[in-house]
Amino acid sequence: MNEPAQNKSITSASGGGQGHLADVPPGPGGRKITRRQFLARGAAALIGAGLLTGGYSWQGETRWLDISRLTLDWKELPAAFSGMKLVHFSDVHLGFNKDAGDVKRLISHIRKAEPDLICFSGDIVDSYPEDLEESVPLFAGLTAPMGKYAVLGNHDYKHAEKLVGLLEAAGFRVLRNGHVLIRKGNEAIAVAGMEDYLINSPGPDPKAALGGISPGTFTVLLMHEPDYADFVQEYPIHLQLSGHSHGGQIRIPFIGAPFVPDGSVKYISGLYTVGEPKRKLYVNRGFGETYMPLRFMCRPELTVFTLRRMEG
């Protein structure tokens, strides 16, 4: 289900160079939509209605976790960290189609992966911080020798300070335009995290998050919206971990995702190369759902990376 490991520009149904046609009804705000958008949205509505009736996309695919395993190599990764396992999850959206019972299932899979480092890239709840409270002890039971790190997603800012407190109670270090250094002997890697791209205040600050990292340090960036990768290409980031897109949640054969949110229009799902070959972006499809309690051809995802030093 993931996209190929290359730099692909994937757009919503408005792409493809289709002209605006007078016989297609206007979209939201009175703007005309393309024929491709009109057909894709109509197909999505029909498929969604049929699948919801059958129960597959509601109780089937939303519960069918895909564990994606990738091995990535860099010359810049210190030898002491070669072979480390990094587990990445995103977009739990507790309170909308997901609860503590679902978190138990997710945590069991994370434990089986035996991670050295755990990273969460935002949207722990859909709306209310109280929806996280029951899961705090569950997340607190997760351990990783290199730590657990998180950023906030756009859904988390309604009650940001309370959610930060709950995530910290669960053992996560919440990175808000900051970074940490993880050391092994004389070697170190950096994990940085930024505020959400779609939230104006405080907003992402790459200088604050990345500016203090020594040149040449292998750096992992947590950023909720994947499209922000294009704005930080001058910074020495080796791996950006993002979510937000949910992979579209609904993917239609031969069309793809008819709906993707702002901030993940270009990068939707899987592994990409952004700019130079050593800079990678991974977009996790998320664990939960939002707006519609449905998934089709877009299973929820947990990603397990093995990071290795490339010799020579």
Question: pLDDT (tens digit, 0 to 9) for every residue of the chain, 312 residues total?
Answer: 343 333 333 333 333 333 232 333 444 344 455 555 555 555 555 555 555 444 554 556 898 899 999 999 999 999 999 999 999 999 999 999 999 999 999 999 999 999 999 999 999 999 999 999 999 999 999 999 999 999 999 999 999 999 999 999 999 999 999 999 999 999 999 999 999 999 988 999 999 999 899 999 999 999 999 999 999 999 999 999 999 999 999 998 888 999 999 999 999 999 999 998 889 999 999 999 999 999 999 999 999 999 999 986
Q: What are phi and psi of 159, to 5 degrees?
A: -140, 55
β-pairing, 148-150 with 117-120? parallel
- If DSSP states are collapsed to H, E and C, what string results for 173-223? EECCCEEEEEEECCEEEEEEECCCCCCCCCCCCHHHHHCCCCCCCEEEEEC
Euclidean distance between CA atoms 269 and 227, whole angstroms: 11
Is pTM, for the whole model, over 0.85?
Answer: no
Distance of CA 59 to the CA centre of its chain: 22
Contact 47, 39 (CB under 8 A): no
Angle, alpha carbons 285-183-227 (nearest 5°): 30
Which helix (H) or strand (E) element contains residue 301? strand 301-309
Distance of CA 199 to the CA centre of its chain: 16
Backbone region of residue 254 per phi and psi (left: phi > 0; alpha: psi in -120 to 50; beta: other values)? left
Q: What is the pLDDT of residue 46?
A: 53
Contact 34, 18 (CB under 8 A): yes
Q: What is the pLDDT of residue 13?
A: 31
Euclidean distance between CA atoms 282 and 236, whole angstroms: 16
Residues 6+ apart with CB under 8 A from 60: none
Euclidean distance between CA atoms 99 and 180, whole angstroms: 30
Backbone region of residue 154 per phi and psi (left: phi > 0; alpha: psi in -120 to 50; beta: other values)? alpha
What distances in angstroms separate CA 90 from CA 17, 24, 236, 276, one per listed residue? 32, 36, 23, 25
Q: What is the CA radius of gyration of the chain?
A: 19
Residues 6+ apart with CB under 8 A from 77: 189, 218, 238, 307, 308, 309, 310
Q: What is the pLDDT of residue 64?
A: 87
